[in-house]
Amino acid sequence: MGILALSYWDLPAHLKPCFLYLGVFPEDYEIDSEKLIRLWIAEGFIQQRDDETMEDVAGDYLEELFDRSMVQVSRKRSDGPVVNCRIHDLLRDLSISKATQNNFFTIHNVEGACSFSSTNVRRLALHRSINGYHPTVTLRSLLNFRDSGISYSEFRQAKLLRVMRDDFMFPREPTSIKELKEFVHLRYLELNGGEGLLPSSIGDLNNLQTLVLDLSIGSLPEPISNLEQLRHLEALENTVGNLQVNKLTNLQTLCLQNGNWIKDGFGNLTNLRKLIITGDGSLNETLPDSIGKLLNLRSLALYGTVFLPQLKPFTHHSHLYEMSLFGAMKELPELPPNLVELTLGSTNLEEAAISKLEKLSHLKILKLFMDSYKVRTMIFSSGSFPQLETLIMADIPLKEWIIEEGAMPSLKSVLLNTMQFLNTQTLPKRVRALLKHI
């Protein structure tokens, strides 16, 4: 532990709390990097730097910890950003030891009775069910990785709570979730699993920056439209109702179901970096106009179960590196010039689409899923897909795949699933060597 302790003491002051915070997660836990960054911001660990967003500064902090081998990369996108990370067991032990000395956080890891004195707890991580815990005014953060059975009514004394992350598997009583209105200092709220009713008073949480709802609550309360500080809204399990999304102009992340909010337009949300839209039926025809104005987009996913409207050219979306399009399309639009990863499904594209795809000079990952391509023959011309490393094809009626010499020079893997009509014996030897049936 001595050498590891030296690594900790060598950290600059701004990285020490960020490193210690990694200890709140359970052992061997896969940490979502985006959510970790949002938690750091909500906790107040990130310092403002010139005109950069807090998320960009926090991303740099995380990269510094990677460079110092204080945190490990679990999964990384082909263009660079880390999707998931984890902390080595010995470093986790170190962070817990230092955090305990400084009362930085407290972990409850014993099933049943409360294992600590609650009078001075600042940040609490629940890894097991707990009984007899009564929060006090000192509590700033609750990270519950287990359905602990805690009722929010027990938290009335914790008036200064800034972070709440709660996993639960069973329905909560409406009276329990209604208590959320008491926590007016909340900056981060994440509710996972189960079901309940979200009160309209959530619109009074004026300091809320992140709202993640992975539970069934029916329709989203309209007062969420009043949360002017909201930067990240994820609620794919719930209908949108009368939410006025276009009022949330600070949003950087928006993950919602299809609804009238699309018809109302949201092109004024120019800070958006990540947009995911799912839902039954066709997406509204006004969608392309709004997306066309979102020039800061990094990631876009559209899941229309029937049709996708004809999208406008993405030639000016220079930051957009990741796209997923699901739903029938008349034709593939002009795609972003710096696109790195593309996923298509149910798009029913024809041969002309391949001519557009193969010109994407930065594309590294291409996934063609069920009904993405409807023609029996596919031709990859010489010099096409210069940077493509991974190609996945599944459930498309392809019989003949012609790969000309010089196509896909950077290819590393080809994954096929349910491609029973395809004759792979006619493929070039170098491609056959990379084939894997999954």
Q: Which of 158, 157, 165, 153 is nearest to 199 (CA)?
A: 153
Q: What does pLDDT average to over the chain?
A: 90
Q: Where are the domains of the chain?
A: 1-93, 103-437
Q: Residue 233 forms beta bridges with which residues? A: 211, 254
Q: How confident is the model at residue 290 (pLDDT cuts 50, 70, 90)?
A: very high
Q: Would the pLDDT of 4 be above 70? A: yes
- Tokens representing 104 are 């930085």
What letter represents residue 374's amino acid?
K
* E strand residue ranges, 3-81: 31-32, 72-76
Q: For 60-72, write each residue's pLDDT tens digit.
A: 999 999 999 999 9
List the CATH code of the domain at 1-93. 1.10.10.10
Which of 266, 316, 276, 274 has the alpha carbon at shortest distance from 297?
274
For residue 188, the cross-strand partners are 163, 210
Architecture of domain 103-437: Alpha-Beta Horseshoe (3.80)
199 in Cβ contact with 179 (< 8 Å): no
Range 25-28 contact pairs with CB under 8 angstroms and sequence separation of 24 or more: 25/87, 25/92, 25/125, 25/145, 26/127, 26/145, 27/89, 27/92, 28/86, 28/89
pLDDT, residue 178, reads 64
Neighbour tally for 112: CB within 10 Å: 11
Say if CB 177 and CB 152 are below 8 A apart. yes
The bridge status of strand 299-307 relative to strand 322-328 is parallel
Q: pLDDT tens digits for 243-278?
A: 999 999 999 999 999 888 998 889 999 999 999 999
Among 217-231, 272-286, 416-430, name the one with the lowest average pLDDT: 272-286
Is there a contact between 196 and 179 (Cβ–Cβ < 8 Å)? no
pLDDT at residue number 43: 97
CA separation, residue 155 to residues 127, 152, 187, 346, 399 (Å) = 18, 5, 16, 47, 62
Residue 335 pLDDT exceeds 90: yes
What gap in Å lies between CA 25 and CA 107, rounded to an integer? 9
- The predicted pLDDT at position 172 comes to 56
pLDDT value, residue 196? 66
Flag the least confident range among 163-172, 177-186, 217-226.
163-172
CA distance 233 to 226: 13
For the chain, the C-alpha Rg in angstroms (whole number) is 24
Instruction: Provide the b/e sequence for 161-199 (b: ≥16 CB within 10 Å).
Output: bbbbbbbbeeebeeebbbbbbbbebbbbbbbbebebbbb
Q: Could you tell me the pTM of the whole model?
A: 0.93
- Which of 8-22, 44-58, 185-199, 394-408 has the weakest average pLDDT? 185-199
Answer yes or no: is pLDDT of 151 > 60: yes
Alpha helix positions (H), 282-337: 287-292
Instruction: For residue 423, give the DSSP letter.
Output: -
Tell me: pLDDT of 58 over 50. yes
| Range in 37-46, 153-162, 253-262 with the lowest mean pLDDT | 153-162
- Rounded Cα distance, 332 and 312, in Å: 10
Token couple for 103: 């009362």
